[in-house]
Amino acid sequence: MSNRQDTIFYNVDNRLIYDSAGQYKHNELLPYITTNELVEYIINLKNGADPDTWTDYTRLSSDLEVKATINKKSDYLWYVSGTLNAELSGAVTAIDATIANSPYVNPAGNLVLKNSAGETESVAYLSFSKAETIYTFVVDATLTNSYAATDVIKVEDVPVLQAISVDKTSITTGIIKVTFEAKSPRWYYDIDGLAEIDKPALELQFVNVDGNVELNMSFDIKCLNTRNNTSAAAAAYELPGNFINVNPSLTILNAPDPLPISFDCQGATLQDIADILGTILTQLKGQ
């Protein structure tokens, strides 16, 4: 599978990222990924204050587990909490709960149950349905503990993206390759209607066989939105009733009084804009 590659130099000492020329990457120079895109980031870990005298970071061993995610820095909930709506014990196929003010629940994932005695256990859910704040999680489990209505339930939060592959072949010389595909349900949820996701970061965690974290690293990244511009998708899309398709590249929203009018001029020439303004005036005269 063909995909874009982006090479990043990460200084473990100051936790900043650079390009191959030693140029600090920030703002518009940040690494990026766009909706539906597949990207491999080649991350070179370095030591030293001066790019001219950098040395490879060689303290990582090949038996480390590498976890790579993209997260919103403005949303670091680990779990979304609620309460059970009914008693639970033994074999269960559904769990009803009230979860108010939930920012996001993944289509499938893990639940954590906790009773009044402090006993906890994790249960995987396969799907869920929702009616306002009432969630019904579909499960297939036999519970170890018993739970009363109003006991605690927590839904595990998920990152915006999880790496679909991690190549640690050259980890001992400080090189990690991580691949992301911007297609997760959480990605679509967070970016829907926006030009980009708010304050995302690419995070890597290096965990040894004892479960201890040997290195955490994080750097800013841009998560950008893009339209699906394929002709098939465009042909299948029906404009809402208050949209008027005037030009293949120009769509205007004609609203009633007080008449807030907007149109997308992306790719338009000055003549295109003049033509569509004339069209708007003609339509207004006819109303």
- Which tokens is 108 given? 């499938």
* CATH code of residue 220: 2.60.40.3350
For tokens 């998708």, name the residue.
Answer: 233
- Residues found in the chain: 287
- Which tokens is 120 given? 């906890």
Q: Does residue 239 contact residue 251 with C-beta atoms inside 8 Å?
A: yes
Same domain, 15 and 70: yes
Q: Does residue 84 contact residue 95 with C-beta atoms inside 8 Å?
A: yes
DSSP reduced 3-state for 233: helix
Residues 6+ apart with CB under 8 A from 199: 72, 73, 74, 220
Same domain, 207 and 192: yes
61-104 pLDDT, tens per residue? 999 999 999 998 877 667 888 999 999 999 999 999 998 866 67
Residue after which a domain boundary falls, among 195, 224, 253: 224
The total number of structural domains that make up the chain: 3
Q: Does residue 221 contact residue 160 with C-beta atoms inside 8 Å?
A: no
Please, is 70 exposed, middle or buried when counting C-beta atoms within 10 Å of its C-beta (0-12, 13-18, 19+)? buried
- pLDDT at 153 > cutoff 50: yes
Same domain, 34 and 142: no
Instruction: State the pLDDT at residue 43.
Output: 97
Residue after which a domain boundary falls, among 103, 128, 156: 156
Same domain, 105 and 219: no
For residues 36-54, average pLDDT: 93
For residues 27-32, average pLDDT: 87
Same domain, 70 and 174: yes
- pLDDT at 258 > cutoff 60: no
Same domain, 178 and 280: no
For residue 172, which phi and psi values (nearest 5 degrees)? -70, -15
Instruction: State the pLDDT at residue 271.
Output: 67
Same domain, 83 and 152: yes
Identify the residue with better confidence: 161 or 24. Answer: 161
Question: What is the pLDDT of the chain when averaged over all its residues?
Answer: 83
Model confidence band, residue 233 (pLDDT cutoffs 50, 70, 90): very low
Same domain, 260 and 131: no
| Alpha-carbon gap, residue 32 to 275, rounded angstroms | 36
Residue after which a domain boundary falls, among 224, 247, 273: 224
| Segment (H or E) for 285 | helix 270-285
Instruction: State the pLDDT at residue 105.
Output: 86
For residues 248-263, average pLDDT: 43
For tokens 């010389």, name the residue.
Answer: 173
**How do 4-11 and 38-47 pair as beta strands?**
parallel
Same domain, 70 and 178: yes
Q: Which residues pair with 96 in a beta bridge?
A: 136
Same domain, 258 and 124: no
| Alpha-carbon gap, residue 48 to 165, rounded angstroms | 29
Same domain, 100 and 164: no
168-199 pLDDT, tens per residue? 999 999 999 999 999 988 899 889 889 999 99
Which residues span the domain enclosing 18? 4-74+160-224
* CATH code of residue 91: 2.40.10.170
Model confidence band, residue 219 (pLDDT cutoffs 50, 70, 90): very high
Instruction: State the pLDDT at residue 151.
Output: 96
Q: Does residue 197 contact residue 221 with C-beta atoms inside 8 Å?
A: no
For residues 42-66, average pLDDT: 93
Same domain, 93 and 150: yes
